[in-house]
Structures are given as C-alpha cells and as structure tokens.
C-alpha cells in the first residue's frame, strides 16, 4: 500500500516552490531558512503494526514501552543520519490507548528522552491524544550550513563502491542512529546515502531507482550481526538502522578512516553499474539471486 | 488524561538549552536557527476520538475524508496563528486503516493540500503507515524574523482587554486558521494570544494560569455563530479555531483596524484583573457563573 499511495499523494501536490530544496521522495525534506538549511523527517510507529509491547512474539519489533520510545526517535533520526544532517529538535505526537495508560506513555517518552540525550537532540514539543493503540509519530529537525553537506539517495554513479555501516540482521532493541557516521560519509564525498531500516534489499533498490543505476551487491560480503546466519535474512530483515553509501573508489580510504573514528565498521559490499535501475544481489558463485521470498511483510 | 501526562512528560525532560526560545507549554515551540526563528507545532487527530467520517452522529467533528484532512492541517496552523508566526511547511504522518483504504487517505491529503494552498503552506513531506483507524499527525513549521514578533500565552497583564476573533460555537466544517489575524494582533502589541480550539473557557484559563492573572469574561458579549443560541455552549464547545487576545486598552483601536482589514470581526469580551490565575465568566447580571457542566468531554 504505502509506496503507491505516496506516489499518488506526491502527484496531487503542487510544485513545492523555491524554498524547498528537497521535498517528498528522499529520506528527509530540506528547506532553506535564512542562511541555514532545515532538514525534516517524520516517522510514525503503531502498536500491532510496527511493534508489540514485550510479549515474546515474533514479527515486528518487540520491547518495553521505553524501548519503543527509543526506537521511535531512532527511526526518525536515522533519516537525518542518511542525509548527513546534524540533529536539532524532535517533536512527538503520542497516541495513548486506554490499555497503555499514562504509565506506559511516560515510559515511552523516557525512552525517547534517553536517546535524545545521547544524540544531542532536544525534545521541544508535541501533542498527546487518545488513540486505539499506542502510537508515536516523531518529527525530527536537523540543520546544515550548506546544500553540499547534504546527501540524497539520487546521486549514485556508475563505478562507485557500495558500503554499509555496522552489522546487519541483528535488529537491536535500542538501535543507534548513525548520525556521526552519516556526517563523516558526507564529508568524505558520498554520492548517495540511505538508511536501511526497511532492509538493505529494499533501500539499495531505492538508491538505484532514484539514481538511474544498478547497485550490484555480493551477499558473501555482508557483515552479519552476532548470531545471524542467513545472509538473505540480513539483507531483507530491516530494523537495522545502518547506512548504505555509494562513493567513488578514490574516496574510499578517506571514508573508511573517518567512519572508523566513530568506532563503527564500514564494509564494502558491492559496486554501482549500468543496468535496470535498482539493485541486484549475487550469491557466492557470482550468480544473481532473488530475495523475493525473504522480503519481510508484517 | 492529556494535561497531567503532558506535565509529567515535561518534568522528565532535561532543560532545553539556549537554542530553544520556547519549549513545551505554549501553542508552539520556538527554536533559533541562524538569523531566524523556527516555530513548530504538532497536532494529531484520530478517527473515533477527534472525528468520525460523515455519519451524521453527534459528538466529535464529522465530515468527509477531505474535511478531515483540512481540519487536521487547520488545527496545527491555528497554533502558528496563535504565536503570530508566518506559515512555512507542513509534514503529515498518515495512519491508514484497512477500512479507509487508499482512496480515503488520498482524499484526506487532498483536503490538507487545499488548505495548504489557501494559506501558502507547502506540504513538504511525511510518512504513511498502516493503523487501526484513520489518523493524521500534522507538524507545521512557521517562521519569524524576531522574537518580539511572536506572542505567547504568558504575557497577559492586569488591565488588558480580552478580545476574540470571529464568531463562536459554529464549529465550521472547514475552519480557517486565523493566520493573518494572529500576525495583525502581534503587530498591534498583543500581550498574550491563544487559539481557542479547545473552547474559550479552557483556553482563556490557560492564558490566565500561564500569566498569573484572571481573565474575566462577560458571556453576554460573546459573538455567537449563526444558529448558536447557548452562550455557555459557545464558550465551551471548541472546534472554532478563533483567537483569544489580551491587549492594553491603548492598543485596542490599532488592533481593531488591523484585524478588520482581514475581513474578520474582533470583539471585546472582558478584561484582565488580579485574582486566582485562570478565567472567570460573568452572566448577564454580572454574577460569576460556572461552565463546568458544559465542558465538553468526548
């Protein structure tokens, strides 16, 4: 549903005007404000759709209300990371169900506040409403001095190397959005950057489609999280909040150095070539393989 | 629930730091960005809580999906109006139920886009997720050049006159946020400004409590909407999206002139006096009366 609806919505909206540098279709919107750029992203999570409160069930993210609040803010901040923006403020619209009540809602906010403190983000406002299930819609605002500091998903070029931060498939309970890593990759000359919270397979395809190129990724090279055995699952599971970057071979060393200073690994997993816009995945023998069956659908 | 939870949330958050000019507790948050001020408000509406889709039932706002989209954006823009800010961008997190489907979600976005066009607001981004009921969480960003342009709810002074824009109790299906009127009142020297979407009784009390004064309002002076007969209902019903202002008597004429240019009435309904912080309402005989029974609770 989501994809075609977003396209229909974008088609009904008028052109955005000169203040809007990037509108619908990237990780975040970018608006010019005085001498600065204001980078804004919205990420909503809904109980029963994106998460369940701690009950051990499989499927979507399961955690305590504190974890859910952390995860809600992490999702939005990860979009800023994927632009190379510096985080500023966050605003949370909280939908509180009768079942959740004030206590769980407050725990959710405490989780968000904890990640806000860790990342230097200020929780500056929001709204609290009644809702049938626990819901958090997070708007984050980041800032940049110059348009060249910000990296979209549409700039990948044939010949670029494809890299990924951290390890995949681990689905951490309290993911760290890769804000410093995003800015480091932007400084190192990244051509395209995206966060892979929907899974590497989906998000690499988004870079390819937006850039008009094909990202060819070798499954054997994926850095797997602890206890993760299936490379196909690591490529499709989502909830990782790592970044995928496309970068000219000449800039690889600089990027590697800058990202390593943050304590996070940067692994080269493929390369950008001509071809049908999107992404293709190669197995250990170098044959193209389909990840269709693995695409997670909650 | 809402009020005590917001207070608990505010109590758990760390101090906001020097960039945040106004944080939780006013109509909108104000953040310094370069040479400008960024004014942000979030307003969420939930099917079954704040609105029902056209079914003729009493209670919350009832309208078509188009009306709901208009109303969702109007609620957030009304908070900018109440600060005296100029609207800039809007971001909508849309929760789409299976019952609503893509068609109704798109109609909702069309309603929001229509009001965006009318008010010069750019819909610059958002998120679309599955949800148990139709939900729209709207973040609006407005801009101001200078802190003195922006009016909070905490500046009312003893001796001020209390005014209200437009007519009350009519609960329009497609309310017009009073953006021009808010800026006109700010220019005219307003001491305190609030939007009365929760009802005049509730919102006048908010000004009084934040300012440490008592707003004394004469029910007989309320400007009633067409077909509205109960002054008590007009003071409590909410969903009006008019503004309530406190202003020095010397500035009244200027305010009147500036607001009238927008084609909207400005009516003086009371005055600010010393007393228990809040608001009190006088009946036709000048006796204080309680509006308790009329406070709407959906």
Q: What is the pLDDT of residues A31-67, one digit of tens each?
A: 988 788 999 999 999 999 988 887 555 556 788 999 9
Domain B151-294: which topology? Phosphoribosyl-aminoimidazole Synthetase; Chain A, domain 2 (3.90.650)
Q: CB-hemisphere CA count at 13 Å for B193?
A: 31
Higher pLDDT, B3 or B275: B275
Instruction: Enter the pTM of the model.
Output: 0.91
How far does the CA of residue B255 sit from the closest CA of chain A (Å)? Answer: 29
Q: How many helices (H) and strands (E) does chain A have?
A: 7, 15
Of B75, B92, B102, B139, which to mutate for an interface test with A (greatest number of A Cβ within 10 Å)? B139
Cβ pair A113:B12 closer than 8 A: yes
Cβ pair B29:A124 closer than 8 A: yes
What does residue B230 show for φ and ψ, rounded to 5 degrees? -95, 120
| Residue A57: predicted pLDDT | 53
Q: What tokens were used for B247?
A: 């202003």
Domain B20-144: which topology? 60s Ribosomal Protein L30; Chain: A; (3.30.1330)
Nearest residue to B183 (alpha-carbon basis) of B264, B102, B282, B118:
B264
Please give the angle made by the CA atoms of B228, B229 and B234, to the nearest 5 degrees.
60
% of residues, chain B, pLDDT over 90: 73
| Residue B47 DSSP code | B
| Residue A19: predicted pLDDT | 80
| Residue B147: predicted pLDDT | 87
Mean pLDDT of B90-114: 94
Residue A199 burial (CB count, 10 A)? 23
| Residue A61: predicted pLDDT | 75
CATH class name, domain A151-285: alpha beta
Higher pLDDT, B294 or A279: A279
Mean pLDDT of B283-291: 90
Beta-ladder partners of B113: none
CATH number attached to the domain at A19-144 = 3.30.1330.10
CATH 3.90.650.10 residue spans of chain A: 151-285
Higher pLDDT, B91 or B23: B91
Residues 106-125 of A with CB under 8 A from B: 106, 109-110, 113, 117, 122-125
Nearest residue to A152 (alpha-carbon basis) of A275, A255, A30, A1:
A30
pLDDT digits (tens, 9 = 90+) for B17-29: 778 888 777 778 9
ipTM over cut 0.85: yes
The overall average pLDDT reported for chain B is 91
| Residue B298: predicted pLDDT | 31
- First-last CA distance in chain B: 12
Residue ranges in chain A modelled with pLDDT below 70: 1-2, 55-60, 293-298
Place B13 in a pLDDT band, splitting at 50, 70 and 90.
confident
Mean pLDDT of B211-221: 97
CATH 3.30.1330.10 residue spans of chain A: 19-144
| Residue B263: predicted pLDDT | 92
Cβ pair A130:B46 closer than 8 A: yes
Identify the closest residue of chain B to A21 by CA–CA distance.
B124
Cβ pair A40:B123 closer than 8 A: no
């Amino acid at each position: 549903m989501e994809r075609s609806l977003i396209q229909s919505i974008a088609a009904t909206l008028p052109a955005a005007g000169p203040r809007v540098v990037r509108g619908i279709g990237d990780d975040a919107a970018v608006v010019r404000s005085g001498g600065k750029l204001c980078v804004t992203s919205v990420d909503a999570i809904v109980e029963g759709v994106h998460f369940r409160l701690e009950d051990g069930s499989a499927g979507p993210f399961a955690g305590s209300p504190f974890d859910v609040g952390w995860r809600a803010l992490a999702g939005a901040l990860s979009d800023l990371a994927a632009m190379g923006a510096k985080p500023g403020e966050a605003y949370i619209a909280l939908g509180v169900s009768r079942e959740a009540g004030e206590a769980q809602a407050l725990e959710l906010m405490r989780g968000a506040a904890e990640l806000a403190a860790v990342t230097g983000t200020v929780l500056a406002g929001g709204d609290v409403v009644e809702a049938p299930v626990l819901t958090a819609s997070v708007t984050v605002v980041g800032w940049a001095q110059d348009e060249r500091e910000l990296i979209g998903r549409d700039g990948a070029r044939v010949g670029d190397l494809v890299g990924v931060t951290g390890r995949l498939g681990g689905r951490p309970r309290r993911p760290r959005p890769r804000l410093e890593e995003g800015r480091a990759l932007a400084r190192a000359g990244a051509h395209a950057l995206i966060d892979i919270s929907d899974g590497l397979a989906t998000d690499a395809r988004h870079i390819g489609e937006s850039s008009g190129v094909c990202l060819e990724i070798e499954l054997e090279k994926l850095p797997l999280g602890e206890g993760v055995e299936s490379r196909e699952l690591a490529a499709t599971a989502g909830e990782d909040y790592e970044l995928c970057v496309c970068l000219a071979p000449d800039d690889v060393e600089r990027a590697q150095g800058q990202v390593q200073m943050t304590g996070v690994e940067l692994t080269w997993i493929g390369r950008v070539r001509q071809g049908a816009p999107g992404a293709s995945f190669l197995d250990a023998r170098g044959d193209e393989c389909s990840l269709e069956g693995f695409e997670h659908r909650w």
